[in-house]
Homo-oligomer: A and B are copies of this chain.
Amino acid sequence: MSKSAAKRLIPSLPTLPDLPGATRRQQYSSSTKRALVEAASELFTEHGYAATSLDSIVAAAQVTKGALYHHYSGKQAVFEAVFERIETEAAASIAKAVKGVKDPWRKASAGLRAFLDVVQDPTYRRVVIQEGPAVLGYERFREQEERSSFAIVLEVVNNVLSAGPWELDQPMIDTFSRIFFGALSSAGEGVAASDDPEAASARVEAAIGFMLMGLRSLVDQGIEFVDPVTGNSSALAE
């Protein structure tokens, strides 16, 4: 038998409303990639990474494994593409929420609400929170997060801490940010898993808000913070 025909699987080529400035080849290419990422995104969300076969992905995307392997180096690369898309969207959503808010405390509050919204998205929960670390490995997972959602948390926390009379160095600010980030992730998961997300979300806001109040109280009292590493005890601002 011959290797038989290798005709395009979708003869009725769908609308290619991609980038108008690109050639037909590039349009085909990017539309195929989009179809793959979208299909993979759904399947990963529903069944998880391990339980999603490449065959099912390419079937849902109306292409074949050859196409997939032409664009991506393998299954993990597809996952990574999905991950990056979700993370980018999430970061943009949160960034939008905090944009323009001047008061650091209100900014933190706005960011918190946006974060709690994001974490309700099933795809985000599954792909980023649940399977991200295991599939990408902790290193790559960290890198990705550091570039997107964590960066925003860092900025917000930085703003809040700068409101205090302290001079904190970068490692210390990072530490605070990590703590808040972890708190938010965990709390967000709790919210998403709750049978009454509304109430749970309100509780989280209240709890975090209360802790922020605590920090603020220390600020107002002019309590000094002693860096355990540098030994710098940041005194009051003049």
A225 at the interface (CB under 8 A from B): yes
A228 at the interface (CB under 8 A from B): yes
Name the prevailing secondary structure of the A interface residues: helix
Instruction: Tell me the bound Cα distance from A172 to B194 in angstroms.
Output: 13
Interface residue ranges, A against B (CB under 8 Å): 48-50, 125, 129-131, 133-135, 137-138, 142, 171-172, 174-176, 178-187, 189-190, 193, 199-200, 202-208, 210-211, 213-218, 221, 223, 225-229
Instruction: Tell me the bound Cα distance from A203 to B206 in angstroms.
Output: 26
Q: Name the B residues within 8 Å of A218 (CB-CB).
A: 210, 213-214, 217
Instruction: Tell me the bound Cα distance from A40 to B185 in angstroms.
Output: 30
Q: Name the B residues within 8 Å of A210 (CB-CB).
A: 215, 218, 225
- Kindly report which residue of chain B lies nearest to residue A204, judged by CB atoms: B175
Instruction: Tell me the bound Cα distance from A189 to B186 in angstroms.
Output: 14
